């Protein structure tokens, strides 16, 4: 069975962290809407100007504002606000009643993304599907976009030419951010390295199986490098505190 089953209508909730994260999954979201699924979308961090862009972009997917949620976390500090955000996430799960939730993979690319993943798993007992945004926050290593560090169990949604054009147009909606330039630069670098990123041609998903939030979710050598970073130390302190208080 595919991770994303387009033929069996159900209730999907896509929990993104920032408006523009859904660029990674926007074609799949639109395909689900067109297939008759009930699709909702949330942002953990959504200041006014980015929220406005996100709402406008969501309309292109086919989502109405009544199916949008936002939680007002602090950009860059979401992991320090896990306890404060839990009631808002619980209320969303009760209202949205999802059969499955999609969120950014717990992949140590951004502390805010990992925090959203933790919040989803802390408030939802059903099927959690991960999508790769980027990993890791090790410097000066080039972050890998739209691919898991371990491809085992991944499901690829191949995009039609029309969906590829839609994805490009969608990425251009977030004018306050430099995401368009970042993605184009990564495409060029990946091509030069003979590792084409195929950002426009595919969207990737996997069932979340790694749910130990006190261990990096990577192959051993990469995990060991992550554990030496100050970002991991900060995450470990925050999640240990939040899990002890639940």
Domain count across the chain: 1
Assigned domain for 126 exists? yes
Q: Count of CB atoms within 10 A of residue 80's CB? A: 17
List the CATH number of the domain containing 210. 3.40.50.10320
Choose among 33, 23, 17: nearest CA to 173.
Answer: 23
Q: What is the pLDDT of residues 131-140, one digit of tens each?
A: 999 999 998 8
Assigned domain for 44 exists? yes
Task: Provide the pairing of β-strand 144-145 with 134-135.
Answer: antiparallel
Cα 176 to Cα 30: distance, rounded to the nearest angstrom: 23
Write down the pLDDT at residue 48.
84
**Four-point Cα dihedral 210, 215, 219, 223, nearest 10:** 150
Write down the pLDDT at residue 192.
46
Taking each helix axis as running N to C, give the angle between helix 111-123 and helix 230-245, from 0 to 180 degrees, rounded to the nearest 10. Answer: 20
Assigned domain for 92 exists? yes
Task: Provide the pairing of β-strand 202-207 with 127-131.
Answer: antiparallel
| pTM reported for the whole predicted model | 0.92
Assigned domain for 3 exists? no
What sign results for the dihedral spanned by CA atoms 140, 146, 84, 76? positive
Residues of the chain with pLDDT under 50: 180, 186, 188, 192, 194
Write down the pLDDT at residue 137.
96
Quote the tokens at residue 27. Answer: 């074609």
Assigned domain for 214 exists? yes
Assigned domain for 1 exists? no
Cα 130 to Cα 101: distance, rounded to the nearest angstrom: 9
Quote the tokens at residue 56. Answer: 């406008």
E runs forming strands in 136-236: 144-145, 155-158, 202-207
CB burial of residue 225 (10 Å; 0-12, 13-18, 19+):
middle
Assigned domain for 5 exists? no
Write down the pLDDT at residue 188.
47
Helix (H, G, I), strand (E, B) or coil at 101: strand
Q: Count of CB atoms within 10 A of residue 131's CB? A: 26
Write down the pLDDT at residue 27.
97
Choose among 74, 151, 157, 85: nearest CA to 121.
Answer: 85
Assigned domain for 6 exists? no
Whether 154 and 148 have beta carbons less than 8 Å apart is answered as: yes
Containing domain of residue 125, as a range? 11-245
Phi/psi of residue 205, nearest 5 degrees: -145, 160
E runs forming strands in the chain: 11-16, 38-43, 68-70, 100-104, 127-131, 134-135, 144-145, 155-158, 202-207
Write down the pLDDT at residue 141.
78
Q: Kind and range of the H or E element at 182? A: helix 179-192
What's the CA angle centered on 115, arms 110 and 121, to 5 degrees? 135
Beta bridge pairs of residue 41:
14, 68
């Amino acid at each position: 069975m595919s991770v994303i089953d387009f033929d069996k209508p159900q209730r999907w909730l896509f929990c993104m962290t920032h408006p523009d994260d859904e660029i990674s999954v926007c074609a799949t979201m639109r395909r689900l809407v067109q297939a008759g699924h009930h699709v909702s979308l949330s942002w953990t961090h959504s200041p006014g100007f980015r929220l406005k862009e996100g709402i406008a972009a969501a309309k292109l997917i086919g989502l109405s504002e009544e199916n949008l949620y936002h939680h007002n976390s602090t950009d860059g500090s979401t992991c320090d606000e896990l306890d404060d955000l839990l009631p808002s996430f619980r209320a969303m799960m009760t209202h949205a009643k999802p059969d499955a939730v999609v969120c950014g993979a717990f992949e140590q690319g951004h502390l805010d993304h990992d925090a959203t993943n933790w919040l989803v798993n802390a408030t939802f007992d059903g099927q959690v599907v991960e999508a790769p945004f980027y990993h890791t926050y090790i410097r000066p290593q080039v972050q890998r976009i739209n691919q898991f560090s371990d491809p085992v169990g991944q499901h690829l949604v191949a995009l039609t030419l029309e969906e590829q054009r839609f994805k490009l147009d969608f990425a251009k909606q977030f004018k306050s951010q430099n995401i368009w330039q970042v993605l184009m630069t990564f495409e060029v670098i990946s091509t030069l390295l003979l590792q084409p990123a195929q950002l426009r041609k595919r969207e990737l998903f996997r069932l979340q199986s790694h749910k130990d939030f006190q261990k990096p979710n990577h192959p051993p050598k990469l995990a060991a490098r992550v554990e030496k970073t100050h970002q991991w130390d900060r995450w470990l302190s925050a999640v240990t505190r939040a899990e002890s208080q639940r």
